[in-house]
A and B are shown apart, each in its own frame.
Chain A
Amino acid sequence: MNGTSQMLVYLIAIPLFSAAFLLLGGRALDKVGHIIGTLASSAAFVIGLLEFFAMLGRAPENRGVTQRLFTWIEVGNFNVGASLFLDQLSMCFVLLITGVGTLIHIYSIAYMSHDHDRRRFFAFLNLFIAAMLLLVLGDSYLSLYVGWEGVGLASYLLIGFWNQKPAYATAAKKAFVANRVGDVGLSLAVMIAFVQFGSVSFSGVAEGVEAGKASSLALNCLGAALLLAAVGKSAQFPLQAWLGDAMAGPTPVSALIHAATMVTAGVYLISRSHFVFDVATIAQTLVLIVGAITLLFGAIIGMAKDDIKKALAASTMSQIGYMILATGLGPVGYAFAMMHLLTHGFFKAGMFLGAGSVMHGMNDEVDMRKYGALRKYMPITFVTFGLGYLAIIGVPPFAGFYSKDKIIEIALDAGGAKGIILGSITLLGAAITAFYMSRVMLMTFFGSKRWDAGTHPHESPSLMTIPMIILAIGSVTAGFIFNMGDRFVKFLEPVFHSEHGGHGEKAHLLPPIVVSALALTAVAIGVSIAIAKYGRGKEIPTVAPSDVSVWTKVARRDLLQDDLNEALFMRPGQELTKALAIVDEKVIDGAVRGVGSLTLDVASGVRKTQTGFVRSYALWIVVGALAILAAITLVTL
């Protein structure tokens, strides 16, 4: 199924060189940096489009293309080539990354226009694009790992872009550390793959799994390690705590990296490793559990957040939980996970950009309690955000409906109690999603003005609104387009080799139309509660009320995940470090100094025998001679 293409390398090389050029070029490029960055991203998008059309021109079975660059590592029989591999799965990502990425580049030109470090921002964005493309184009876990670390680095740099504020720098560090934990999983996975299969390339591992080279235990370990990696990168339970703080970065970053692309890398990793999870049932169940928990976790946190970006971040967490859950459902789920990923990429990026637009007009205020009644002042933002809102809560015919509905459907179809539990969770998630997104919508665009004095909301410039409009169009149409005649599922089918793929072969627990009705009912309930609570005539205090139930407090604190992490890892870590410092001070340094002072003490004691008189030394010689003679005498006696 492999053709070749000489274009793939340029996908990565152009943004990478652009990033290097912008970083090394210094202040001289300040005036044109954003243009260069945007052009690089656009060029990558154009190449991606060309590849996409070339791919469509080939038979479905021959759509994958590779490009071998050079031999990277050659040690003994361990041979890793630096090769790029583009198939349908990667293609989805390539288009999402470069497409949404380019739109966000354009948006950033205006959004960051007052920042004197705009050139650096664009360099980091380009670096992110390059790393993310390497992540999805690498043909082995090792190449993926490089991209994986690259996006982690770019994410770190961009979250801490305004690192003059200590809180932001700390948020960047937190994200980096949480990602490190996941990275351990990925490196473990690479090692397990090498030990078990002698290869780290996707095809090599897939063949190895098929040939039954590895025990079920090894496969489950491999799956669990991959899941850990995905959990770290995609902010899933229990490593989700970093995502909320990651909103410290500029809003375009939140849109691109922490909503549309990077955080979905975990979904990509699991989908790409479908051959592992298809046979590692325990790992697959873990995936399901993680997805289900995160889905609810994110949704509950989302209900309590007043910060618009953090509410959206919680929603991202929850939506990725949907995707992870879908991948955990096996071959039927991958395509829908990818579909939800793409539609989510559209509407969530659009909503983040909308949030950025609101902040832009509100003097960078993020507290929704100080918004209100903005629909008259920001009509374009209102409309695009509203379309994204309709998409995310899953109102037909917007994009989210198709993808989320399918996930709920296959979750219910998982069979037995599992199906019922998962289905209920997904339905509950849909209801909560509807509630908190309606809350965001109502608090921001409806109700009364609760602005701070001196705030003059205004619509954003067209450089910002045009990307929002394009994304809104995507939010509206993508689901319909993808779902028409199962087009998307069929497009991806060769990748996942799902003999029993698609859906509909299994007996449905409930007919699709009933599922849709249930989902819509859940959404309607969520929206109604939101309207009842925050709708017309309800006064919303500008300061979050403190006399709330303990559950709300817990939800406001990210369901205590930070406290848990601190209690479980940070505090013991600090105590351990303190103890180690004491050990270092007393034991190790003590031993070192003790050796020194012991030598000194012994020396100053022994020194007394050194009188400096040559005659006493001669006496000792005589004593020695005496001893030797005595020994000889004793021996000969």
Chain B
Amino acid sequence: MSLDNYLYLSALLFTIGAAGVLIRRNAIVVFMCIELMLNASNLAFVTFSRMHGNIDGQLFAFFTMVVAACEVVVGLAIIVTIYRSRRSASVDDARLLKL
């Protein structure tokens, strides 16, 4: 099996994640889809690391994980705050900047 398959899988998962962001309205699900996209890119990093015999790819995946964790923490806190005031977790309801 060619290692390229991992990359195809990565692209596929990334696409599915993107579609989820566009289609789903629940902010938590949207967040999960973003996580899916980040993880898909991580898979590409790890695969390239193995292809090129270079450990840096794994390090980048590691950093991505940390950044993703930060993003989840802050993002979920924002969702909780919005939910508290608006009783809704739908991203469509948070459009106060629109007249």
Contacts and interface: CB of A to CB of B under 8 A. Distances in A.
Nearest to B95: A612
Interface in A189-247: none
A615 B18 contact: no
A56 interface: no
A613 B18 contact: no
A622 B92 contact: no
Interface in A606-637: 607, 610-615, 618-619, 622
A613 B92 contact: yes
6 contacts: A607-B99, A610-B98, A611-B98, A615-B22, A615-B92, A618-B22
B21 to A, nearest CB: 5
Interface in B17-74: 18, 21-23, 25
Interface string B76-96: 000000000000000110111
B3 interface: no
A619 B24 CA distance: 12
A611 to B, nearest CB: 7
Nearest to B98: A612
Contacts of B25: 615
A612 B91 contact: no
Contacts of A615: 21-23, 25, 91-92
Contact of A618 (B21, B96, B98): B21
B1 interface: no
Given A611-B95, A615-B21, 7 more contacts: A611-B98, A612-B95, A614-B91, A615-B22, A615-B25, A615-B92, A618-B22
A632 to B, nearest CB: 14
B46 to A, nearest CB: 22
A613 B91 contact: yes
A619 B30 CA distance: 13
A236 to B, nearest CB: 71
B31 to A, nearest CB: 12
Contacts of B23: 615
Contacts of A618: 21-22
Contact of A622 (B18, B95, B96): B18
Interface residues of B, number: 13
Nearest to B19: A622
Interface of B: 18, 21-23, 25, 91-92, 94-99
Contacts of A613: 91-92, 95
Nearest to B92: A613
Contacts of A619: 22
B79 to A, nearest CB: 12
A612 B93 CA distance: 9
B97 A612 contact: yes
Contacts of B21: 615, 618
A614 B94 contact: yes
Nearest to A616: B22
A260 to B, nearest CB: 77
A609 to B, nearest CB: 11
Contacts of B99: 607
Contacts of B94: 614
A615 B94 CA distance: 11
B89 to A, nearest CB: 13
B32 to A, nearest CB: 15
A190 B60 CA distance: 78
Contacts of B92: 613-615
A612 B96 CA distance: 8
A611 B91 CA distance: 12
Contacts of B18: 622
Nearest to B27: A614
Contacts of B22: 615, 618-619, 622
A611 B97 CA distance: 10
Nearest to A625: B18
A5 B97 CA distance: 82
A86 B91 CA distance: 92
Nearest to B97: A612
Contacts of B95: 611-614
Nearest to A611: B98
Nearest to B15: A622
A171 to B, nearest CB: 62
Nearest to B91: A614
Nearest to A607: B99
Nearest to B34: A618
A618 B21 CA distance: 8
A422 B92 CA distance: 99
Contacts of A610: 98
B19 to A, nearest CB: 9
A615 B30 CA distance: 10
A615 B96 CA distance: 14
Contacts of A612: 95-98
B13 to A, nearest CB: 16
Contacts of B97: 612
A607 B18 CA distance: 25
Contacts of B96: 612
* Across the A-B interface, the 10 shortest Cβ-Cβ residue pairs: A612-B98, A612-B95, A614-B91, A618-B21, A619-B22, A613-B92, A618-B22, A615-B22, A622-B18, A613-B95
Nearest to B25: A615
A614 B96 CA distance: 11
B38 to A, nearest CB: 15
A324 B21 CA distance: 95
Nearest to B96: A612
Nearest to A610: B98
A361 B25 CA distance: 103
Nearest to B18: A622
A606 to B, nearest CB: 13
A629 to B, nearest CB: 11
A191 to B, nearest CB: 60
